[in-house]
Amino acid sequence: MRHYEIVFMIHPDQTSEKVVKIINGYKVFITNNKGFIHRLEDWGRRQLAYSVEKFHKAYYVLMNIEVKKTVILKLQEKFRFDKIIIRNLIMKIKDKVTSISPMLKMKDDKKKILK
């Protein structure tokens, strides 16, 4: 099995409940195909650096998973035909990553400063 880091952006018109359902759907898909999710982070709705399909914001999700290559190919196909996913990036990495990402760490640091 190989380790992958996946970042995908969800259509900004989705409600928080629908975003959770979408993420859970991908979690179930990975675990049903004998994969492991080492890290899952919902970064929330964020401003895009440039507009994508005329959108200026999107929901960002980061996943670090361990699956077989055939499962990644199926996942790429699911992303491609899912109208709610506006962009995705899948990268093969050497080892599993379980620590908090710098993006989420920065978000937590801002909360501590505001308190």
The CATH H-level superfamily of 2-114 is: Ribosomal protein S6/Translation elongation factor EF1B (3.30.70.60)
In DSSP notation, the chain reads -EEEEEEEEE-TTS-HHHHHHHHHHHHHHHHHTT-EEEEEEEEEEEEEEEEETTEEEEEEEEEEEEE-HHHHHHHHHHHHH-TTEEEEEEEEESS---SPPHHHHHHHHHHHHH-
How much is the pLDDT for 14? 87
Structure-token pair, residue 17: 């409940």
pLDDT by residue, tens only, the chain of 115 residues: 899 999 999 999 888 899 999 999 999 999 999 999 999 998 888 888 888 888 889 999 999 999 999 999 999 999 999 999 999 999 999 988 888 888 777 766 655 555 5
Q: pTM for the whole thing?
A: 0.84
